[in-house]
Structure 1
Amino acid sequence: MGTVTSIGIIGMGHVGAHVANSLILQGIADELIMTDICSGEHSKQAKLDAEVQDLGDSLAFCPHNVALVNAGEDYAQLAQCDIIVNAAGDVQRSAIDRDGELFYTTDTAKRFIEPITNAGFQGIWVTIANPCDVVATEIWKISGIDANRVIGTGTALDSSRLKYALSRVTGYDQHSICAYMLGEHGASMFAAWSTVNIGGKPLAQLQAEQPERFAMALAEIEDLARQGGYKTYAGKQCTEFAVADAAARIVRAIVSNEHYITPCSTLMTGQYGESGLFTSLPCVIGADGVEEVMHLDLTDEEIDKFHASCAHVRDNLTRVGLA
């Protein structure tokens, strides 16, 4: 990283705007370069202008000043950034089907991947747009960048939802619970129950020692994590805070070279026999992106679920010509 931390954001809708706000409030960015589609009948120029103005008006209340750049649709300007966050999507297309944004987001990504790459971008991509694993794979394939420098937020968000659900059931703070949703960020994700622990103690052991306290409907809790986004969408027709904070947390880990471990979407290079596609496993995140993919001792049933989830991602890659 240089002396100035420059972060680009593509797409300033609900999620992109909240990513920007979170980065500013946490003091992570020194410069934000913001872009969106600003031409044609679907131009979002007015929305982009408004968000940049609103964020600027908030700076007096923030940890330090941040240079705010409205780059319109000039994606090449993002090449100077240390990190680019892709939040270009259309959540209404996912209202019924988790893959509803598939063609929209992959087509949209083609507008900016090459201009940014051709302008010499050497930083790290953090992509949120859904289907997250497909878009991450697309960015890697089109840009030709080192796969470790492409990170999908993936199941970082779903794992947070799982920990929150477990916290409400057990009464323990979610920061003391280690629990992962794995696979695609979509309907085929699954909870790796065999690896869940609370304060370092395996959930299975707690259930054996205190069956009354830890007798919980695991399938229902897993479904809360899987369907949490739809519950949020049903009430306000978008999801914004949690996914934006998931992205900002990954950005912070990169900027601070934390070696932070979180599930996120990364290239499979033989893990559990899978390769050539992005999906979520626990990753170590630092200044160079994904530094290591952690190997978990999953059960045979969990490995089968992982393969099924990867198969769904692969099917979607085939649908958009990326397989």
Structure 2
Amino acid sequence: MNRVALIGNGFVGSSYAFALLNQPIADELVIIDLNKEKAEGDAMDLNHGLPFAPSTTRIWSGDYADCEHADIVVICAGANQKPGETRLDLVEKNTKIFKAIVEQVMASGFDGIFIVATNPVDILTYATWKFSGLPKERVIGSGTILDTARFRYLLGQYFHIDTRNVHAYIIGEHGDTELPVWSHADIGGRPVHDLIQKNDKWSAEDLDDIFVNVRDAAYDIIERKGATYYGIAMGLVRLTRAIFHDENSILTVSVHLNGEYENDDVYIGVPAVVNRQGIRQVVELNLNDKEKEQFNHSVNVLKETMSSLFDKKE
């Protein structure tokens, strides 16, 4: 039985639960939240939709003891990003929340895979790894999975191509220092930069604008509706499926670097092979000089932010 324990039943968590129910992935879903009545209500509501679902998922509201037999614990709990606030502004308060959460999960006897969605996701994934004591391969952050999806969507719109046939990555921090890997962006095997050189209606300036729209998408959505949740929820379900189906899929998630990309002791968004064991391997792209510089800057920003939170001598 594939069991998912969802911790945090706010906008992202409840959207994840709904999206998960609509795919035949998990056999069991337990919802854990400080607001027990909300968790109970959502479990009831979701159960009432089972006659229309492609799965027979057992859904209930529970507590940390239910994590003992969970294969995956998905953490969506924490303080939300407010208008005008960066993801990094959330570091201190959410790190404290995570320490309490992870300690209670591990006390249950949990020995599965963590998926972290709460921002700042790279730092909180590192925190989950530290607090849990689990192998780095079994602690995964959502990383730039959503940024990459936004990137592919906007490129598809620009070139009038189905977004599923656009191959391009956003890597680095899930935040203001992320970067597009233009050197590996292609459509149908044709590099994007070659496409714009051969057609006057496309331009490098437009590509720059596309990336800015990707990077700032969360701010634009938060300004309009207060939070982002549908896109990231679907990304989390995609990651869950890759694990349960042992897919060996390549997804841009937050993983621990140990020499890859010439960096170490940091969780950051890069392409990685995901299967039933968690992270099988990090995929190292051959970055150009500009991309290397941007990626290293992103790493340094994360490490500087973390320096006051974790004793690196541990």
TM-score (normalizing by structure 2): 0.95
1:47 and 2:38 correspond:
yes
Q: Is the 8 A contact 1:94 1:100 kept in 2?
A: no
Aligned to 2:265: 276
1:123 and 2:112 correspond:
yes
Structure 1: stretches of 5+ with no match in the other structure: 38-43
State the Cα distance separating 1:308 from its structure 2 match: 0.6
CA displacement, residues 138-174 of structure 1 (integer Å, 9 cap, x when unaligned): 1111111110111101100001111111111111111
- SS for the counterpart of 1:7 is strand
Q: Is the 8 A contact 2:155 2:210 kept in 1?
A: yes
Which of 41, 57, 61 matches 1:70? Answer: 61
**Runs of 4+ in structure 1 displaced over 3 angstroms?**
92-95, 211-216
Aligned to 1:12: 9
Task: Pick which of 47-56 and 251-260 moved more.
Answer: 47-56
Q: Distance in 2 between matches of 1:184 and 1:32?
A: 30
State the Cα distance separating 1:59 from its structure 2 match: 1.3
Aligned to 2:190: 201
Structure 2: stretches of 5+ with no match in the other structure: none
Q: Which amino acid aligns with 1:246?
A: G
Aligned to 1:41: none
Q: Which amino acid aligns with 1:31?
A: E
Q: Distance in 2 between matches of 1:97 and 1:113?
A: 24
Aligned to 2:49: 58
1:99 and 2:95 correspond:
no
- SS for the counterpart of 1:212 is coil
Task: Pick which of 54-63 and 305-314 moved more.
Answer: 54-63
Q: Distance in 2 between matches of 1:121 and 1:94?
A: 36
The count of aligned residue pairs is: 312
- SS for the counterpart of 1:91 is coil
Q: Distance in 1 between matches of 2:81 and 2:172?
A: 23
Q: Is the 8 A contact 1:93 1:100 kept in 2?
A: no
State the Cα distance separating 1:132 from its structure 2 match: 0.3
Aligned to 1:188: 177
Q: Which amino acid aligns with 2:219?
A: Y
- SS for the counterpart of 2:256 is strand
TM-score (normalizing by structure 1): 0.93
Q: Distance in 1 between matches of 2:38 and 2:298?
A: 36
Q: Distance in 2 between matches of 1:252 and 1:95?
A: 34
Q: Distance in 1 between matches of 2:20 and 2:282?
A: 26
Aligned to 1:243: 232
State the Cα distance separating 1:114 from its structure 2 match: 1.5
